[in-house]
Amino acid sequence: MISSKIEAALNRQIDLEGYSSMYYLAMGSWAEVKGYNGVAQFLYHHSDEERMHMLKLFHYINDRGGHGIVPAFAAPQNEFKNVREIFEIVHSHEVKVSNEINALVELCIQEKDYTTHNFLQWYVTEQIEEESLARQIIDKLNLIGEDKGGMYLFDRDLGTMTGQQGGKGGGHGHGH
Q: What residues form the annotated binding site for Fe cation?
A: 17, 50, 53, 94, 127
Amino acid 110 reads Q
Give binding residues as ranges.
17, 50, 53, 94, 127
- For residues 65 and 59, the answer to whether their CB atoms sit within 8 Å is no
Nearest-angstrom CA–CA distance, 176 and 174: 6
Candidates 84, 90, 82; CA nearest to 49 is 90
- For residues 113 and 3, the answer to whether their CB atoms sit within 8 Å is yes
